[in-house]
Structure 1
Amino acid sequence: MKATRFVIAACLAAVVAFAGATGLVSGAKSQMKDVKRNTEVVTDLAAPNPEFENFLLVGSDSREGIDPTESDFNVIGSAGDVGGQRSDTIMVLRHEKKTSTLSITSFPRDLWVRIGNGEKSNRINATYNLGAAMLVRTVTANFGIPIHHYIEVNFQGFKDLVNAIGGVTLCAPYQARDTHIGLWVRKGCNRLTGIGALRYARSRHYQQRIKGEWVLEGTGDIGRSARQREFITLMLRQAAKYAAANPFKAGDVIHAVTSTVTVDANLDMPSFLKSMRPAADGNIANFGLEVYQDTEAGMAVVKLGGNSKETLAFFAGVGPPPAGPSVPAG
């Protein structure tokens, strides 16, 4: 499978924050009723918890909805580029019901896990090929994290969502590039529209020009995960600004959601919109999982280490928040 991966599902938080920030939750109901529903995953979801709820945010590498006549078609790729379906981005978003606090963590796609109830092991991103329900089961079984709701967005959705909020401003300390996918970032602030944001989020060979030399970041998926979570925060803020300046364009944003999003059959979208309101101000705690590289079955994988137990315990609801948001990506 080609390395056409990026943060995507978590961007849904930014989009729904748009509607929440403008108070258009009730007006969004008619359009939100058309969101695709996954009934299979319901039996593996956790029972409601009075204190918090966890949303499993999944970025699917499906190319469904991509127009082959668009100029950026070769950047995104076609359905034929992917052998089987994979979950490119896997994140857990935690919402505290009493305080409305939001926290997020992510799992590297090459994380080595036991599949489902533990009969076999594989990289976590391969689990989705066995179905969304199996992915939910795997996350809960491996990390003890109860999943109350499931949200998935595909490739085209990411691009459409970024464009729907007018792009995202990224301020870079150095000039940066990834020649493998055509990414070029100027030093200073850059406005990234859909395809530019896609390249940034996909980058696994990120280089920065420091003191006249191109320096490879060298952290691969780990560094990419950190940039993805940073991008989420920037997108949340942009969604809030765009909402304030363009309150009557919520329909465009909501349409981008409904056409590319799949959620579990139990999720009440208006309630979810309300829970995302704090995210519109960028108020979301970002926790990374420390990992180390290893080899299993002849494959390069990563495994959990360092602060992972504290972070996982928090998202599982059996421990306090870690001392502070983690800088290393997970």
Structure 2
Amino acid sequence: MASTNSPLRAFPFRLAVALAVTTSLMVVGIVGVNLAIDSKLSVIKRVDVAVASAPPEGANYLLIGSDTRSFVQGSTEEEAFGTGSDVGGQRSDTMMVIHVEPGSQQTLAVSFPRDLWVDIPGVGNSKINAAFNDGPDKTIETLKANYGIDINHYIEVDFESFRGIVNAIGSVPIYFPYPARDELTGLSVIAGGCIRLDGYNALAYVRSRYLEYYNVETNRWYPADAVPDINRIARQQDFLRRLAGIAVQKGLNNPLTANEIADQALKNLTVDSSLSKGDIFDLIDAFRTINPNDQSALDFQTLPWSSGTEQGQSVLIPKQPEANEMIAKLKEFGNAPPPATETVDPSTIKVKVLNASQKEGLASATLKELVKFGFKDGGTGNDDRGTIALTEIRFRPGSESKAKTLFSYVDPRARLVKDSSLKGSDVELVLGTGFKKLVKPISTSVPATSGTTDLATETPAPISNESKLGPPALRTRPC
């Protein structure tokens, strides 16, 4: 029977598993190009899973985070992470679909919260996590039945990989403005500043939901987070990008380190029996072009949800239309072409804007904004299909560069569609329900990975009780 405190341990642990999953894939993809992949494949465990055939443009990978505690040794680790008896052995507490297109420099990872209410085929209505009780085939069947998502490959990992990767690269530097602790996870930082975390402390950090900072003058601890879940997510994403950046730098500069990183990432993986050497190289091609410090390149999302109650249980319900818009991105391939090789002057591009969003006046307002950016007015109208989810940029043959120039102005990214029937304009911008806004393009060049990597990130989430904590510690490199 689970102990009374196991839910507290399990809740933040799921997020650490998510980091283990994404880090394993990312690091293997980034450093794997330097390794003899053939010699690594034999250590990967394989299972027979019914997966769909992958389209030529890429694949959807179902990633399951297994929360086995088999790695736990000694009372200290039992206190911090729990034991198998605390959480009922092994189960799935993280479910993520990674949408990979080797020709793209962006990869989308969508997490499906374990409490999503779904119809499990042959079982009935339940939380999506229950689908894994009947194995990966039932999970794949459930995703298809509820969301229409085809899964092309299956990968399962436990978070010992995460700790092993951190230890393989040595440590990850994290800035703490004050002494910090989380009594639940075991995190303890005795002084503020740039602190290097090993594998054990890295896990304690990314699991932290009750982070506190210490005021040395008043000798008091204060909650660090104004909104704990939001701040924790920001810390996790920052840590993951730092980890990837260091892995790139050390893996490319030292083949022995690269080998150790790959060993740690691969040894705890279980994959479908159809995952081939070619599929692994497709993963490598997709991930090794990513700039780990570019947050748009590593697009981590959670399926939009709202709270609900079903059969007396607190559950999560997909929030519409946002959930369907995100699911559409997982179902479509060929949406993210390589960047344009040349810059096209917007004044030479005639754009017609069509509305397929059900938002009245959106086409006219968008065209006016495009004209302000310098594009030529090609008129507006409504798309004959009525409503679409993904925004499209339709272009005539020979106008690829013009379409890619417009592509860089659209947020979120649009689908490029070649259309030989297009007349009266160079390109058509068809606004789907997922369209948000136009943006002015910024440089997206990838920095060199050798030498010193600048791991600075955007401004972190605000600190709670900052006025009570006094001046923060000096922030120095490499933090």
Query: Given the two structures, how large is their TM-score scaled by the length of structure 1?
Result: 0.81
1:142 CA drift (Å): 2.2
Partner of 2:25: 13
CA distance in 1, matches of 2:312, 2:253: 52
2:134 aligned with 1:130:
yes
1:278 to partner: Cα distance: 2.2
After superposition, the Cα gap between the structure-2 partners of 1:218 and 1:128, relative to the gap in structure 1 and judged at 3 Å, is farther
Of the candidates 181, 199, 205, which is equivalent to residue 194 of structure 1? 199
- Is contact 1:11-1:158 (8 Å) kept? yes
- The structural deviation recorded for 1:226 is 5.4
SS at match of 1:146: coil
Q: Tell me, in whole angstroms, the C-alpha distance in 1 between the residues paired with 2:226 and 2:128.
A: 24
C-alpha RMSD over aligned residues: 3.3
More relative contact order, 1 or 2 (CA 8 Å, 6+ apart): 1
Aligned length: 318
Separation in 2, partners of 1:147, 1:194: 32
Shift in Å, 1:256: 1.3
Q: CA deviation at 1:181?
A: 1.8
Query: Are 2:215 and 1:245 aligned?
Result: no
- SS of the residue corresponding to residue 105 of structure 1 reads strand
Give 5+ residue unaligned stretches, structure 1: none
- Distance in 2 (CA, whole Å) between partners of 1:319 and 1:190 is 43
| 1:28-47 to 2 correspondences below 5 Å | 28-39=37-48, 41=49, 43=50, 45-47=51-53
Asked if 1:180 is matched to 2:192, the reply is: no
Q: CA shift at 1:152, angstroms?
A: 1.2
Matches within 5 A, 1:1-330: 2=6, 3-4=9-10, 5=13, 6=16, 7=18, 8-20=20-32, 23-25=33-35, 27-39=36-48, 41=49, 43=50, 45-64=51-70, 66-69=71-74, 71-83=76-88, 85-115=90-120, 117=121, 119-171=123-175, 177-184=181-188, 189-206=194-211, 213-214=222-223, 216-218=225-227, 220=229, 224=232, 227-269=235-277, 270-271=280-281, 272-279=283-290, 281-282=292-293, 283-305=297-319, 307-317=322-332, 319=390, 323-324=411-412
Q: Alpha carbons of 1:129 and 1:297: their partners in 2 closer, same or farther (altered >3 Å)?
A: same
**AA at the equivalent of 1:110:** D
Report the CA distance shift for 1:98/1:200 in structure 2 as closer, same or farther (over 3 A).
Answer: same
Instruction: Tell me, yes or no, if the aligned pair for 2:251 and 2:261 is still in contact at 8 Å.
Output: no
Unaligned runs of 5+ in 2: 216-220, 333-388, 393-409, 414-435, 437-457, 459-479
Q: CA deviation at 1:206?
A: 4.7
Letter in 2 for 1:55: Y
Instruction: Return closer, same or farther for 1:13/1:277 CA change in 2, 3 Å cut-off.
Output: same
Q: SS state of the match for residue 145, structure 1?
A: coil
Larger radius of gyration: 2
Partner-residue secondary structure (3-state), 2:289:
helix
Aligned CA distance change for structure 1 residues 131 and 316 (closer, same or farther; 3 Å):
same
Query: What is the letter of the counterpart of residue 35 of structure 1?
Result: I
